[in-house]
Amino acid sequence: MAETLLEARGLGVRFGDFRALSEVVLDVAAGSLHAVIGPNGAGKTTLFNVLTGRIAPSEGRIVLAGRDVTRLPAHRRVHLGMARSFQVTNIFADLTVAENLRLAVQAVSGAEPWVFWRARTPSREKVAALLDEAGLAARADWRAGDLSHGGQRALEIGMALAADPRIIFLDEPLAGMGIDDIHRTKEMIHDLVPARTVVLIEHNMRVVLDISDRITVLAQGRPIAEGAPAMIRSDAAVREAYLGSGM
């Protein structure tokens, strides 16, 4: 049985009188692709914010690789091997693809981020490896803003990989993509495992069911189902809450 890399127990988040999350229990196996799905307002992004340290839980506990990180801020979790991409693409549009990745490498290596001309800072090999992993080697010299939406999301994921994370959180990486971009990005995400662990929020159910090892379903801030894709596909409560009869 695979080692559990990330676990959450009894997570809850309150904003005033509103409960965004309640009694969330989650186990993410090392080297797996674990999807979190649910209707809009189910609490998926709030869960990501708590797990990655952007907000503190009102109750509960989070353990990463055996270490309690419940109260650890986001930047400290990065140094423990955690990375995240966001719903809104966050790149430097006027820089080249390679320069964006170089900045990301420098940011985690402690080098001066804007000094492009210094040899060995950061290693060209690291940037080249990230270009390959993001599927952008042929577009290294392109202006980042000229990439397709899918290419920009791939670049953002590549930048998140600069820290060489053990676990990466991807928040709706396929949103707004055309069919070709969806296929390329889906394959890139799938290829991240088992070398890395991926936690994914995504509304494209065809992709989720195709590439996930395990799926957690949230509704109104609570988990209502968890299991392998085949189990989730046939779960009556999931159909009623989110997926619909056409699943």
Task: 182-188: list long-range contacts, CB under 8 Å, 24+ apart.
Answer: 182/150, 182/207, 184/135, 184/150, 184/154, 185/150, 185/153, 185/154, 185/157, 186/210, 186/211, 187/135, 188/133, 188/134, 188/135, 188/154, 188/157
Digit-by-digit pLDDT tens for the chain (247 residues) are: 679 999 999 999 999 999 999 999 999 999 999 999 998 889 999 999 999 999 999 999 999 999 999 999 998 998 899 999 876 678 999 999 999 999 988 887 755 445 554 544 557 899 999 999 999 999 999 999 999 989 999 999 999 999 899 999 999 999 888 888 899 999 999 999 999 999 999 989 899 999 999 999 999 999 999 999 999 998 988 888 765 544 5
**Residue carrying structure tokens 């650890």:** 72
* Residues whose CB falls within 8 Å of the CB of residue 237, separated by 6 or more in sequence, listed in order: 224, 225
What is the number of H-type helices and E-type strands within the chain? 9, 10
What structural domains and CATH numbers belong to the chain? 1-81+166-184+193-247 (3.40.50.300), 89-164 (no CATH)
Provide the residue count of the chain: 247
pLDDT on residue 2: 77
Is 192 within 8 Å of 198 (Cβ atoms)? yes
